Amino acid sequence: MAGMSVEDKSIAEGAPRIKLLGNGWIDLFACHASAEDVEAKLGPLFSEFQRLCEASADWICGVQSEALSGAVVLLEEIGAAPVLPDGLVAGNCSALLQGPSEDMLLVSRSGKEAGMLPSESDFVMVQSFDKDAWSCCFCSAKTGARPTSDTPLHWACLMTAADTFAWPERPLVALHGHALAEKEGLEKAEALKLPISHEETLFSTPEDVEALMALFRDFPYPENKVFIRRGHGFLILSSSLAGAVEEAALLKRKASRLERPLIDRIVNSNGFEACSMASIILCMVFLGADAACFTSCEAATKDFYGVMNNVFVFLFLAEWVLRVLKDGKAYFVPVKAEHVFDTLIVWVCGVLLGWVIPLAVQDVQRSPITQSLNVLRSMRTLRFFTFLKTFESFKMLLAGILGTATTLAACVALLAMVDLLFGILAIELIGNFEPWGQAPKGTAAWNFQSGLVQACLGMTRFIFFDNAINVTEELMVKQPFIWVFLFLYMAISAYVILNLVTAVICEKAQSMTQENAAEMAKELRAEEKRTLKELKNLFLRLDADGSGQVTTEEFDAAFQIPECRDKFLLLGFDEDEAKRLFKVLDADGEGELSVSEFTRGMTEVKGEATARGLLIAKKKVPGCSLGHRDVDEALAHV
């Protein structure tokens, strides 16, 4: 095997290979078993190894044990070691064994069975870790046991970080759990102000370790004991096993306190908001019907509208109370205009006018004033703006209006000044023109003899061409050339200023289209990232033995795993087609699929066939020359 690379040697020797992906290339974490057994290698430290690995039934009784086996169980109990479909758990831990000549790392083995209390055979000793070759040498008490795939992280925690960053104290224990790293869990970690890596990392790649070391640099131990790697999980460091276990339990309690209460989940749900909007719409319908029959409806109809009025007052009050209970003081402080407005509508126009006043004054009669105040409840429809912002088309429309608000306001001010100027000129040119005398009310000349406001309103008719031709013809009877003045006004106001407004809106729309294209590209990248992550998780499900390669047998067994079966069915493959798919994905023809082969091939299968993809496929096959019919026939078998 001379001249073979570390990776090739690892494969040839059958050493476990851990699934790693970095920069588009496969990195193999090669684990080489030592010829010595644990007892021979550790010597006097073997008793410490046994003590840390001992299986203790105390954990079943809730009594803390000084063994790593208890820490592994704790990770399961607090939900930080999720059970995979193959029945194995994902959490792991490590401890530093300090010998007289060298230090070694005790880590839990890869593939612990869920619900089982670990024993001595569930741990291995890592003697060394080669960062350049990304490989380790280990010895175990059980034949076939191998270290966890997160060994590089544990090595960085306990063997590297303290010396690299000159920590005043060296951690001796590390617990690694898969929680507080995604979605709501990450929000909890942020709320707890825990150190969090900036980039999302998957598996124990060199990039993942670099992200962890960056956290260690910025947030040194022991001031910080919990570290979050975005998208991967958390690490707890401590100088003792008891301290690490206590920190894990404390972390669980703190995270539990951040669980959203039932009322938060109800008020923040889409269903609650939809019901609120529906009640507002129905209230408007009944308010309109009630106003229409204010004086002409029968008593029974008015009573029905009165009952519905009380129903809507109750619904609005209940909604307001639920929102206040959810937000507490934050609903009132700091002051928000929408909350103040909603409170006044509910309590003044609803409770006060609908319940308090009728109960206090028995013979109160509905008047136009009280009816108008009651109808103000329809102003709650303004909340539609906050609701409709969730819809992309409305969001773009609202953003366009708000984005040009300053320019539109300037255009409106300019139009008002032009109207004012021409209103004054119209009074002089038309209103004070002697042949008109005192024009009768309603005539064209009368508009310019009844003050500045009426003159300005009369001029606005020419902006919208509101009977403008008839007015112009009437004025031209005694002022033949007045059309020049009126046309000049229309040219400036209607053709110049209003077209300027249109141009501004069009420019903003074009700018928003470009911004939306950039946003769509960002969303597409995020979707590709999610797809890659899903495919990696699917690869993990298929790789039953954790070798880092999916064999034909493992791929054929995919339809026995519900999650894998559903994924293939969604992609349009039945069981027979999925089995044939293996040969298509196996680009090198070795009978095994690596992470890169699987993810790259499944990504191409998931999308549509493109000219670029067909060209690449053609170049990969020497001497291949396919016509359209051959390509169609080939794709028909995929």
Task: For residue 510, give Cα distances in angstroms to 87, 393, 506, 517.
Answer: 54, 15, 6, 11
Mean pLDDT of 405-434: 89
Is residue 3 one of the residues assigned to a domain?
A: no
Question: Is residue 181 included in any domain, yes or no?
Answer: yes
608: helix, strand or coil? coil
pLDDT tens string 346-370: 998 888 888 888 787 755 555 666 6
Q: By the 8 A CB rule, do 483 and 476 touch?
A: yes
Give yes or no for residue 609 having a pLDDT over 50: no
Domain containing 299 equals 264-390
pLDDT of residue 373: 64
Task: Count other C-beta atoms under 10 Å from residue 50's C-beta.
Answer: 16
252, part of any domain: yes
Whether residues 182 and 232 share a domain: the answer is yes
What integer pLDDT is reported at residue 375 of this predicted model? 65
pLDDT at residue number 43: 74
Position 467 scores a pLDDT of 86
In a shared domain, residues 207 and 312: no
Q: Is residue 437 part of a domain?
A: yes
As a whole number, mean pLDDT of residues 628-637 equals 43
Q: What percent of the chain shows pLDDT beyond 70?
A: 77
- Total-model pTM: 0.45
**Residue environment code for 315-343, b if the CB has 16+ CB neighbours within 10 A, otherwise e:** bbbebbeebbebeeeeeeeeeeeebeebe
Q: How many C-beta neighbours within 10 Å does residue 175 have?
A: 31
Q: Which of 11-15, 402-406, 633-637 has the lowest mean pLDDT?
A: 11-15
Place of tokens 């290339």: 25
Q: Which two tokens stand for residue 470?
A: 């008839």
Please tell me the predicted confidence (pLDDT) of residue 58.
Answer: 42
pLDDT at 383: 65
Instruction: Determine, yes or no, domain membership for 40.
Output: no
Q: Are residues 234 and 128 in the same domain?
A: yes
Residues 6+ apart with CB under 8 A from 614: 631
Query: Are 71 and 164 found together in one domain?
Result: yes
CATH number (domain holding residue 285): 1.20.120.350
- Residue by residue, DSSP assigns 112-172 as PBTTPPP-GGGEEEEEEEETTTTEEEEEESSTT--B-TTHHHHHIIIIIHHHHTT-SS---
Helix (H, G, I), strand (E, B) or coil at 89: strand
Which of 464, 493, 512 is the C-terminal boundary of a domain?
512
Q: Tell me: do 268 and 250 sit in the same domain.
A: no
Token readout for 570 is: 């969604």
Check whether residue 478 and residue 493 sit in a common domain. yes
CATH number at residue 600: 1.10.238
Residue 433: give its domain's CATH number. 1.10.287
Predicted local distance difference test score (pLDDT) of residue 171: 94
Domain ends where: 348, 366, 390? 390
Distance, in Å, from the CA atom of 449 to the CA atom of 602, rounded to the nearest integer, reads 80
pLDDT of residue 26: 37
Residue 448 to residue 468: CA distance in whole angstroms: 15
pLDDT at 65: 45
Counted domains in the chain: 4
Mean pLDDT for all residues in the chain:
77
Mean pLDDT across the stretch 242-249? 88
Quote the pLDDT of residue 395.
Answer: 59
Which of 6, 1, 3 lies closest to 27, judged by CA? 6
Final residue in a domain of this structure, among 373, 390, 407: 390
> Measured in Å, how far apart are the chain's first and last C-alpha atoms?
38
Query: What is the model's pLDDT at position 103?
Result: 87
